[in-house]
Amino acid sequence: MINKKNLWFLTLFSLVLVLSVYYITMPSELLVSNNSENINSIETNIEEASVVEALKTEDNTNTLEEINKLKETIANQETSTEDKNEAFDALRLLNQISSKEELLEEKIKTTHDLESFIKIDGDQIRVVIDSDDHSNTIANNIMRTIQNNFDTKQYISIQFK
């Protein structure tokens, strides 16, 4: 399911991609001018995206691709009922995992005031924290916060970037 947030992200990402391709394929004569009268200096500030944002972007892209494949399987009339049921279950599980990841990221944001990326894979949970403070106390508190949301033991790894 594509919500407004994902749609805006995909739209802006596509625009950046198109502009990047255009810039790369431009003739070099347009980029370098020997005529000193026409040189305009444009100063731009490019903010480097954080590691957490890059991981979220990559994960969102992979998740959307997987969702689209599952939807194609469900919509295909030649697919057997068993395969459609398996695809539907996988789609439901993928949505549950994505919502759990977002919930945990929001909980870390409100509880510890830290930006994070969380990836759940079975009982393995990978957490990447965007912080300069690499404290064991913070890591332990985050592990407790995450584990409190699960009934069974989870294997949580925390990485500071």
- Residue ranges of the chain whose pLDDT lies below 50: 34-39, 41-47
Distances (CA, A) of 67 to 30, 87, 94: 42, 9, 8
Q: Is residue 27 assigned to a domain?
A: no
What domain range includes position 144?
A: 49-160
CATH number for the domain harbouring residue 136: 1.10.287.4300
pTM summary value: 0.64
Q: Is residue 113 assigned to a domain?
A: yes
How many domains is the chain built from?
Answer: 1
Q: Using CA atoms, how far apart are residues 28 and 81, in angstroms rounded to an integer?
A: 56
Q: Is residue 31 assigned to a domain?
A: no
Q: Provide the pLDDT for residue 142.
A: 92
H or E stretch covering 138: helix 136-147
